[in-house]
Amino acid sequence: MQQKTTANEDKYQTFIERVVDSGIVWGLSQDDAWATSNSNEYEETEVILFWSEEAGAAACAEDDWADYETESISLVEFLENWCVGMYADSLLLGPDWNADLLGREVEPLEVALAIAEQLEAKGKPIDLTRYDNLKDFKQQIFDALNGEEE
């Protein structure tokens, strides 16, 4: 079990680094539907899957998702729309899951915070559209995670 946990954590960290480097997150979509899975950890909780590379998403386009296509999402859209919206909808995020639908399940705002911190660590600028700057974005994430209203 420890080995799986460590592997999932490594994959998660790699996801954060790759999306910060590329500025792109990948998903699988068909019309307005996105690739989702039931949580392996929580009953009646849905996980939306995202990948750091198009090939990872494409590898999962089989079975129920055989007709889905890879779709790129800008990092800004991912942070401001997806992570914030998924948090509001009580959904989890599945970063870089494998074709067996296994991987870490993460609160979307935790992912957003990790990305924001990686952007700062690398000195990479990002032009957010709904927030004044990265510091403001991070503060609002902290507030939400600590149960404060905006």
The 10s digit of each residue's pLDDT in 5-60 is: 688 888 999 999 999 999 999 999 999 899 999 998 899 999 999 999 999 999 99
Instruction: Confirm whether 77 is domain-assigned.
Output: yes
Query: Which contacts of 86-91 are long-range, i.e. CB under 8 A and separated by 24 or more positions?
Result: 86/48, 87/144, 90/45, 91/45, 91/46, 91/47, 91/48
Q: Is the pTM of this model over 0.85?
A: yes
Instruction: Confirm whether 150 is domain-assigned.
Output: no
Domain count, the chain: 1
What is the pairing mode between strands 33-34 and 36-38?
unpaired
Tell me the pLDDT tens digit for each residue of 99-138: 888 889 999 999 999 999 999 999 999 999 999 999 999 9
Instruction: Indicate if the pLDDT at residue 3 is higher than 90.
Output: no
Burial of 88 (0-12, 13-18, 19+ CB in 10 A): exposed
Instruction: Confirm whether 47 is domain-assigned.
Output: yes
Residue 80 or residue 3, greater confidence: 80
Q: What is the C-alpha to C-alpha distance for residues 120 and 57, in angstroms, rounded to an integer?
A: 27
Q: What is the dihedral of CA 62, 66, 72, 75, to 10 degrees?
A: -50
Instruction: Confirm whether 71 is domain-assigned.
Output: yes
Helices 108-122 and 134-145: angle between axes, nearest 10 degrees: 150
Domain that holds residue 130: 2-145
